[in-house]
Structure 1
Amino acid sequence: MNPWYLLYCKRSEQQRAEQHLKRQGVDCYYPQVTVDKIRRGKRTPQLEPLFPNYIFASFDAEKITYTTVRSTRGVVDFVRHGAMPCTVPFELILSLMEHEDSDTQREQLNEMLKPGDHVEVLSGQFEGSEAIYKEADGEMRSILLIKLLTRQAEVSMENKVVKKKR
């Protein structure tokens, strides 16, 4: 089995590097994940690199030289320790492949909070209050509807202080 190496690529050229490396007979792995982006006010899923500007490559050094790989279009250089390129454990590559954009991740995201879910605030100025989840406010925060006196107010809070009520 050939060792795996980590390559540093030019900005936003991982796909180009992957194409050219595969044409040369190099095994490549370019992990991507689906991320929800807001475009024109709508949330749309989009594929993004898990490690921007990096790609994993495996090849037989007797058939393909380091110079050939390094001079491939889109590739800047190997990630190195001193003069020698770093090798990446195959177990790490397998682990990344297993977890990359898996169905279980999507299920966990869907199980999280949906608009209309009743939640409890665990800490902060609204500690112990019940609220209704409205929508995500970025990756780390959520917008909640909290009843204050006679009306509901929108409040943005960190996700770690919100717990879904069963």
Structure 2
Amino acid sequence: MKGWYLLYCKRSEQERAVINLDRQGVECYYPQVRIDKIVRGKKQQVLEPLFPSYVFVYFDPEQVSYTSVRSTRGVADFIRRGSIPQLVQQDLIYQLMLNEDCDEHKQKLCELPKPGESLTLSQGQFKGIDAIYQEPDGEKRSFMLINLLGRAVKVSVDNKDLIKR
């Protein structure tokens, strides 16, 4: 089941882990905050991780194995409950994105339609089909309800394929 998991990274290797996970097609998110820091005698605002050494990852363990994610350079291990990697609630991730000082994630979430809003799909296998927005599915995709053979079916589509009516 596709979901958000929390990884613990090796000291100061968070960036390396994110780069290598992206190469594997695993979506990564680590919240950052703007803090005032004195650099070379001058006060500057710098982006720093909200949770140093931790990265949230969004993937489907049936497509990308836990072992390959855990063995990625820069990654120490999953945060687990017992021996099973712990799922993180999607609502928590989206709340962190909305409250983050980094405008990139805020802008992505603010551009998304509201639940129940009617849209048309512009590309892919469902091109031209009307759909109803449900909820985000990671940062780049969303769950939509489409009518197939008289039944409402929940599908995940790329956010760039959504057109407001």
Determine the structure 2 residue equivalent to 1:118: none
The answer to whether structure 1 residue 13 and structure 2 residue 16 are counterparts is no
The CA deviation at 1:40 is 2.8
Q: How far off its partner does 1:102 sit?
A: 6.0
With over 3 angstroms needed to count, the CA separation of the structure-2 counterparts of 1:102 and 1:48, relative to structure 1, is closer
- Paired with 1:67 and 1:6, the residues of 2 have a C-alpha distance of 14
Cross-structure match for 2:47: 47
Q: Distance in 1 between matches of 2:83 and 2:37?
A: 40
Task: Please give the alpha-carbon distance, in whole angstroms, between the structure 2 residues aligned to 1:81 and 1:95.
Answer: 23
In the TM superposition, what is the alpha-carbon distance from 1:34 to its structure 2 partner?
1.1
2:26 equivalent in structure 1: 26
| Structure 1 partner of 2:77 | 77
Amino acid at match of 1:42: K
| Counterpart code for 1:100 | E
Deviation at 1:47, TM superposition (A): 1.2
Structure 2 counterpart of 1:4 = 4
> 2 CA distance for matches of 1:102 and 1:57?
18
Deviation at 1:39, TM superposition (A): 2.1
CA drift of 1:51 comes to 0.1
Distance in structure 2 (CA, Å) of the matches to 1:102 and 1:76: 26
TM-score (ref. length: structure 2): 0.60
Report the Cα distance in structure 2 between the residues aligned to 1:46 and 1:78, rounded to whole angstroms.
28
Q: Gaps spanning 5+ residues in structure 2: where?
A: 104-165
Matched to 1:84, the amino acid is: I
Deviations 1:33-67 (A, max 9, x none): 11110123210111110000000001111110000
- Count of paired positions: 103
Amino acid paired to 1:72: T
The letter of the residue matching 1:53 is: S
Moved over 4 A (4+): none
CA change 1:80–1:27 in 2 (3 A) is same
Could you state the TM-score of these two structures normalised by the residue count of structure 1? 0.59
User: RMSD in angstroms over aligned alpha carbons?
Assistant: 1.4
C-alpha displacement at 1:2, in angstroms? 1.7
Q: Percent identity?
A: 62
Structure 1 counterpart of 2:57: 57
**Structure 1: distance between partners of 2:78 and 2:10:** 12
Aligned residue for 1:11, secondary structure, equals: coil
> What residue number does 1:143 align with?
none
In 2, the alpha carbon distance for the partners of 1:44 and 1:29 equals 24
